[in-house]
Amino acid sequence: MLFNSYIFIFAFLPVTLLGFYLIQNRGHHSFSIFWLVAASLFFYGWWNPAYLGLLVFSTIFNFIIGIHLGKNSNNASLNKIILIIGVATNLSILGYFKYANFFIDNLNAVTDNNLILNEIILPLGISFFTFQQISYLVDAYYNETREYSFLHYCLFVTFFPQLIAGPIVHHKEILPQFIRTTVNTLKSKNIAIGLTIFCLGLFKKVILADGISIYASPIFDAAEAGVAITFFEAWSGALAYTFQLYFDFSGYSDMAIGLARMFGIRLPINFNSPYKATNISDFWKRWHITLSRLIRDYLWDPVSLSLTRFAINKEYGVIRIYILTVIIPIIFSFFWIGLWHGAGWNFIIFGFMHGFYIVFFNLWSKSKAKFFNFSIFENSKFSLLMGWSITFICVVFGWVLFRAESFEGAQIIINAMISFDEIVLPQNIHMIKHWFSNEIFINGLYDSNFKAAIWILLLLFISLALPNTLQIMKKYKPALESYIGEIVSSRNNYLQWRPIKTWALFTAVIFVLSILNISGESEFLYFQF
């Protein structure tokens, strides 16, 4: 079931919400949690009931492991073994469903064999609920978890707003909310705030992301088919995908945050205007924040810490310490970020690419003060503009690898994007009359369709000049912030949401427009991860 489907909006959501509040109002808190778990499992099973078994197994297995880790906190060696079994089982399941075919394909290529594995269907959201539970096990090992009830734990894993595509929630921030009984009574405030955030997300997904997607797909499909692509076509395809991905994924996150809020639950912030970032490190603090946070806390920190200890013990020099404690942990973390997104070399290269971006940025930041101490590099507008431009271009190149179905396809587009000597202006200018037609393929890929350019400029404006959903809703604490002040409220008073007539009208209009546009359901891009 998709958030942007009639069945979800007009049947599943109202029934689940009504049932939840009716049960809550009669004072049956545990039963209301059970109701939410049942609804979430129904939501997950709607797609393919066969997936349910795995989710249920994973939840029960990790809960039992978590209990054992808590019980044996005095026995460090036993606990370590339990943790290893728990993490290894999770990773094995994920590895089998997500990476087995990739592994076999590469093995075949290297050994010249022809091993064939039956087609494995990737369970939805497996990366999300697996990593969420691994982090829970690690915290249980360090005795940082409380003894939660099985029902609450089930809801922590399966809560439908965040089950399929995040935000990746941490037990410390979400489980206490389930336990509190007072927040879950029917509050028109929660419904109003949640509904508005949901509508904004739905609009971003259905109107903006789906609207621009038709300009990205033909270019990438053509590249996969080996068709030669011009400079402009490559850039328009890459930029169209850049905005498609952002509005799709952030729209989804907004919907998830809005839905959870309707039930009185606040999810963590996942996007914070990432295309406003003026350096690559800033970008990763704004893009898929909950994944970055998870990787930082459970991968980067431990690896960096152990390598630091190792380097100090060995009494290495400055350069070797820098390589061991900064470069290797960064590259290693980004390798996993790449692989987390998908089983393909393009995802791995995407990860490495961003890892190297971060390393270069780190080197630049360190050397700037020492070797390039010019006023131009101070916090001037020019410096910020330069920083933004470089960051944005780097990100766009990264998305090409992310979107392309094969490395060869990505190569064709990237080559065209940097082939400055082959810039060809649109031919057959007489086709200008087709500016506003829907013909994408009239002459070449884009010659006669400037709608793509208009879309790109419009979405660039929205991404850069307008506040994001959470900034608009800032006054009402729409999401959990990673640190105080993460969401900065909009300076423009008109762009701050209040429960007034104008905003009601605006919300209704974007809701109806989105509903009207749900003629063909399109899957969220991030579901595949």
Partner 1 sequence: MFFKSYLRKVLLVSFIMAFLIAITNFFVDPGSIYQKYNFSTQNQTSKEFVRLAVESKYGVFRPENIFNERDIVREFAIYPVNYDCAIIGSSHVKQMSLLRNNKSLSSYCKSIKNFGVSGASLEDYLAISNMILNNEFKPKKVIFGIDLWSLNFGRDKRYVQYKKDYLSMINLLNNSENVEKSQYKGEFISIFFNLFNLEYFYRSLNEIIEPNFSKEIMEAPQFEFEKGLPYDVIMPDGSLVYSSQVIKEAEIKLENLDGLNDYKLVEGSYFQDYAVGFFIELVKYLQKNNIEVFFVLIPYHHSVISNESQPILKTIDKVTTKIYDLAKLLQVNVIGSYDPNVLQCTKDEFYDETHPKASCLKKLDNKIELNEK
Alpha-carbon separation of residue 528 from 126, 277, 340, 489 (angstroms): 9, 26, 11, 33
Q: Can you tell me the distance from the alpha carbon of 37 to that of 157, in angstroms, rounded to the nearest whole number?
A: 9
Q: Can you tell me the distance from the alpha carbon of 358 to that of 329, in angstroms, rounded to the nearest whole number?
A: 11
What residues make contact with partner 1 under the rule CB under 8 A? 6, 187-189, 191-193, 195-196, 221-222, 225-227, 428, 431, 441-445, 499-501, 503-505, 507-509, 511-513, 515-517, 519
* Closest to 353 in 3D by CA, of 396, 299, 317, 290: 396
| DSSP code per residue over 9-56 | IIIIHHHHHHHHHHHHHTT-HHHHHHHHHHHHHHHHHTT-HHHHHHHH
**Which residues, listed in sequence order, are joined to residue 480 by a DSSP beta bridge?**
268
- Catalytic option among 170, 288, 341, 434: 341
- CB nearer to partner 1: give 192 or 470: 192
Residue 423 beta carbon to partner 1: minimum distance, rounded to whole angstroms: 19
Q: What is the DSSP letter of 381?
A: H
Q: φ and ψ at 483, to 5 degrees?
A: -145, 155
- Across the chain, how many H-helices and E-strands are there? 24, 0
- CB nearer to partner 1: give 188 or 375: 188
- CB nearer to partner 1: give 139 or 447: 447
Residue 20 beta carbon to partner 1: minimum distance, rounded to whole angstroms: 17
Residue 437 beta carbon to partner 1: minimum distance, rounded to whole angstroms: 10
Instruction: Note if 354 is an active site residue.
Output: no
212, 525 contact by CB (below 8 A): no
Q: Can you tell me the distance from the alpha carbon of 191 to that of 27, in angstroms, rounded to the nearest whole number?
A: 20
- CB nearer to partner 1: give 226 or 317: 226
499, 505 contact by CB (below 8 A): no
Residue 129 beta carbon to partner 1: minimum distance, rounded to whole angstroms: 29
Residue 81 beta carbon to partner 1: minimum distance, rounded to whole angstroms: 44
Residue 197 beta carbon to partner 1: minimum distance, rounded to whole angstroms: 13
| DSSP code per residue over 424-479 | ---S-GGGGGGTTSS-SSSSTTTTT--HHHHHHHHHHHHHHHS--HHHHTGGG--S
Which residues are known to be catalytic?
Answer: 341
